[in-house]
Amino acid sequence: MTANSQSAVLGVSGYAGMELARILLRHPRLGSTPPIFLGRPDSAAEPLTAVHPHLLDNNGSRALQIEPFSWDLLRDRGVQVLFLATPHEQSRELVPHALERGLRVIDLSGAWRLEHPANRAIYKFSDEGSSVATAIQTQAVYGMPELHRDQIRHALLVANPGCYATSVILALKPLLAAGWVDTTHGIVCDSKSGVSGAGKAPSAKTHFMHAADNLSAYNVFGHRHTGELLEQLELAPDQIVFTPHLLPIPRGILSTIYVWFREPHQPAQVEALYKQFFAESPLVRIFAANHLPQIQYSVRTNYCDIGFHLSADGRRCVIVSCLDNLLKGAAGQAVQNLNLMLGLPEAEGLV
């Protein structure tokens, strides 16, 4: 594929799909080849700017349509890469057909993120264990560029990470990879997300009267992103506790993570470790020792911000990781993956 390869986005009406459209339409290397935007097969075509009026500009966005999805349309338009901003079950159904047709896929759902059946069980996929699903799972690359950059470049199927998982994995991976963390003490991840993390479909939990002026924990010991933490950080379930919370804000994630070190370290050593690990990662920002990120610094950006505080004895470390759940936690990371697949600079169109 080249920088002017034709892409298509299915599921553009949702929050992540909206951000994906915004980034792709303003991408400096892709603007001359705007994506094809797709809706349900039984839907009527409608203007993109009717669904997302803020995308209206003077560069032709008024003419862009959200068209009914069909494989024939993708073939006739020469689509080479397909973004799926669709529910897990729908992505599970569509990916086999897309790969059969020679498309490369970036899937923003959780359909293909997990390698181990025990971790996938939470999704209750109807095709679990089938020969087709098993074969496709072996092709899927976990779409976190900071960990799997080389594999993503050549992948046919990229499984975009979850938003909570991105904030926690990026914060912990350098420490675990260096062997610094004493996992016998357990790792605690206390994560908080804005309401958009629950998706666009309304529910009692995301209703204004429930979410406003409130803070609540949910899915304790049962959140879907837990399996991603276990697999990508190579941890056992009894070595980490992850608890998500709902913040009364539209968007953004803040994860506070507590670890014990095997041996004492100095703040300068911790900071140097993070900076070395992410030296080639333009969308991760490391804060100086004892300076912590906040949601307001990373919201509406494609960065993941990481900071830490170290106890006086050098053994206990509190890490704070912040990102925008719709950008670095979803659409921004998807475009970061696309850039790698197209041979473009990783942060092109994202900073």
Q: Which residues are catalytic?
A: 163
Helix (H, G, I), strand (E, B) or coil at 13: coil
Are 133 and 111 a contacting pair, CB within 8 Å? no
Query: What's the full length of the chain, in residues?
Result: 351
Residues whose CB falls within 8 Å of the CB of residue 339, separated by 6 or more in sequence, listed in order: 345, 346, 347, 348, 349, 350
d(CA 210, CA 58): 39
Tokens coding 272: 């140097």
- List the one residue out of 316, 171, 294 whose CA is nearest residue 229: 171
d(CA 210, CA 271): 39
Residue 244, exposed/middle/buried by CB under 10 A (0-12, 13-18, 19+)? buried
Helix (H, G, I), strand (E, B) or coil at 309: strand
**Beta-bridge partner residues of 234:** none
Are 128 and 117 a contacting pair, CB within 8 Å? yes
Helix (H, G, I), strand (E, B) or coil at 227: helix
**Beta-bridge partner residues of 316:** 260
Helix (H, G, I), strand (E, B) or coil at 286: strand
Are 164 and 216 a contacting pair, CB within 8 Å? no
Tokens coding 312: 């006086």
Are 318 and 257 a contacting pair, CB within 8 Å? yes
